[in-house]
Chain A
Amino acid sequence: MTSATELPRTEDTFVELENVTLTYGRGDKQVTALGLTNLRVNQGDFVALVGPSGCGKSTILKLVTGLITATEGFVYVAGREVGAAPVRVGMAFQNPTMLPWLTVRDNVMMPLKIVPPFRQEYQSKKKTEFRDRADALLKEVGLANFGDKHPWQLSGGMLQRASLCRALIHEPQLLMLDEPFGALDQFTREELWAVMQELWMKLKPTVLLVTHDLKEAGYLATRICVMRTRPGQIVDDAQVPFPRPRTIDMSYTPEFVSMTQRLREMIVSQRPVKETV
């Protein structure tokens, strides 16, 4: 089991959860979403969080983004308590959550309108530099001519690509992906993995990816953390040794298969029925 006391803090540590617990509700209805969790993520790491549903994977993302506050313990980003550090965060959810009244391009450009230092220049650059940047990014994910469309004119897969663009346009140091490929078909998913890998290798943000798909975790992540449920906790933390750029073919090699099998067994063995806690 990983513990903050065992893993020394290094120069590279970018995200740190220290003895974090999170409970919802009060009294009898109290639910512990996350119980005494420690996690360190280095700068430029791509960490996948896998585990059974309800194990608090998304909770970790929300804590690191500052959308919710830990009941106990501390969350540090870039060496300071979450929210205090001027870190640019990008986020993509399972739902594309595009704003329906804006064009796809304007949706993608939204972070530039909000996040400093871009927001100060937004009015002067939104029709030139920022617009070009959005178009370039859209082109990279295969949406070259869709900038002027409205979200409802795009398919789910296309919206998810646009959602990735929005998460990346402000060059975030920290990228939060909450099952962004979960609702897509297998082929679109695999295609987007490749796109995601390419973008990550180019921009090198620190990524936390929540997923149910072990193949996805193996393909994308440099490190996979397995969580268990009730209370949510990290029970295994392993590096993914395969070289980059990874391919879909790689996921059929014996080494890859045995890795996903090991992860699968770990998750299946924690089903509530077999739980001994």
Chain B
Amino acid sequence: MTPHTRRKVWSAVLIVGFFVLWEALCWLFNVSDIVVPKPSQIIYTLYQRGPALWPHTLQTLYTTLVGFGFGILIGIALGVLIGSSRLAYDVAYPLLVGFASIPKVAVVPIFVLWFGSGTVPAVLTAMIMCIFPIVVNVATGLATTEPELEDVMRALRATKTDILWNVGLPRTMPYFFASLKVSVTLAFVGTVISETVASNRGIGNVMMIASSNFDVPLVFAGLMILAFLGVSLYAIFSLIESRITGWAHRKDEFAMG
């Protein structure tokens, strides 16, 4: 067994073991469903309530992806703007940190005030949650581009745009994808927060209603769905990242491919 597959096997063992231990502890201490439901019960709930949960899952996924998409666009635009010059970087950074340190939950009521409850505030919350890491990473990637690499281009009389497209942005890709992995999970947080506060659809809303009905297995089923969606998107972006920015990690498979 190669070290790589061994690591994967142990990861799988750890995950399965975690749920087995959970189940065992619930049986052992006779934990009530109202407090912590058993994993088997959660899976049964998922199966039983699946048809009802499905549209909410789609709603949450849709909201998250739309918010994330806008977040990427705005994040890149702002990042390029801020990272393109030392001056812009130094001037804009404090304001950016200021915005980033606002707890995003606090702005949901404002969005609801402006746009009513429903999908729009959820999309916006997802968006503002994921913008900051993208902006910071893109800007940092651009601002730290080695001057020698730029000199090569400048000696060829390349325009600013040429340098951005051929040196700045490709060099920033590893930073950008690292931020995407963080951002996509944050986008989920944003969506769920907003759905919990002001929506009648989505997994956040389902969990809110279930907890007020003391339907704890359903709450945990919602958590499972969110975890699954989050992990799936993370995995997808990891895959894209290793395809596009393999040069930064110098993987042998990439080099040969």
A176 — which chain B residues lie within 8 A by C-beta?
A: 155
Q: Are B247 and A93 in contact (CB under 8 A)?
A: no
Q: Which residue of B lies closest to A166 (CB)?
A: B152
Tally of A interface residues using CB under 8 Å: 26
Q: Are A97 and B157 in contact (CB under 8 A)?
A: no
Q: Which residue of B lies closest to A61 (CB)?
A: B155
Chain B, range 137-164, C-beta contacts under 8 Å to A: 146, 148-149, 151-158, 162
Q: Are B151 and A97 in contact (CB under 8 A)?
A: yes
Q: Are B153 and A101 in contact (CB under 8 A)?
A: no
**0/1 string, B151-191, CB within 8 A of A gives 1:** 11111111000100011001101000000000000000000
B142 to chain A, nearest CB (A): 15
B255 — which chain A residues lie within 8 A by C-beta?
A: 149-150, 153
Query: Is B248's CB within 8 Å of the partner chain A?
Result: yes
B61 to chain A, nearest CB (A): 32
Q: Are B156 and A111 in contact (CB under 8 A)?
A: yes
A203 — which chain B residues lie within 8 A by C-beta?
A: none
A170 — which chain B residues lie within 8 A by C-beta?
A: 156
B80 to chain A, nearest CB (A): 18
Check A114/B166 contact, CB under 8 A, given A89-B156, A176-B155: yes
B162 — which chain A residues lie within 8 A by C-beta?
A: 114
Query: Is B4's CB within 8 Å of the partner chain A?
Result: no
Query: Is B6's CB within 8 Å of the partner chain A?
Result: no
Query: Is A215's CB within 8 Å of the partner chain B?
Result: no
User: Among A99, A111, A114, A166, which residue has its beta carbon within 8 angstroms of that of B149?
Assistant: A99
* Complex Cα gap A166–B146 (Å): 18
B248 — which chain A residues lie within 8 A by C-beta?
A: 100-101
Query: Is A277's CB within 8 Å of the partner chain B?
Result: no
Q: Are B171 and A67 in contact (CB under 8 A)?
A: no
User: Among B158, B170, B245, B250, which residue has its beta carbon within 8 angstroms of that of A99?
Assistant: B170
B158 — which chain A residues lie within 8 A by C-beta?
A: 114
Chain B, range 6-57, C-beta contacts under 8 Å to A: none
User: Among B146, B157, B170, which residue has its beta carbon within 8 angstroms of that of A89?
Assistant: B157
* Complex Cα gap A113–B167 (Å): 13
Q: Which residue of A lies closest to B149 (CB)?
A: A97
Q: Which residue of A lies closest to B152 (CB)?
A: A97
B166 — which chain A residues lie within 8 A by C-beta?
A: 99, 110, 113-114
**0/1 string, A1-30, CB within 8 A of B gives 1:** 000000000000000000000000000000
Query: Is A152's CB within 8 Å of the partner chain B?
Result: yes
**0/1 string, A85-114, CB within 8 A of B gives 1:** 000011101010101111000000011011
Q: Which residue of B lies closest to A113 (CB)?
A: B166
Query: Is A44's CB within 8 Å of the partner chain B?
Result: no
* Complex Cα gap A176–B155 (Å): 9
Q: Are B157 and A115 in contact (CB under 8 A)?
A: yes
Check A101/B170 contact, CB under 8 A, given A111-B156, A150-B255: yes
Which of the listed residues B156, B170, B173, B250 has the most CB atoms from chain A within 10 Å of its own CB? B156
* Complex Cα gap A67–B158 (Å): 11
* Complex Cα gap A166–B153 (Å): 11
A80 to chain B, nearest CB (A): 14
Q: Which residue of A lies closest to B245 (CB)?
A: A101
CB pairs A–B below 8 angstroms (16 shown) = A65-B154, A67-B154, A89-B157, A93-B148, A95-B148, A97-B146, A97-B151, A97-B152, A99-B170, A100-B247, A101-B171, A101-B245, A101-B248, A114-B158, A115-B156, A149-B255
**Which A residues form the contact surface with B (CB < 8 A)?**
65-67, 83, 89-91, 93, 95, 97, 99-102, 110-111, 113-115, 149-150, 152-153, 166, 170, 176
The 10 closest A-B pairs by CB, nearest first: A91-B155, A101-B247, A114-B156, A114-B158, A97-B148, A101-B170, A65-B155, A100-B247, A97-B152, A111-B156
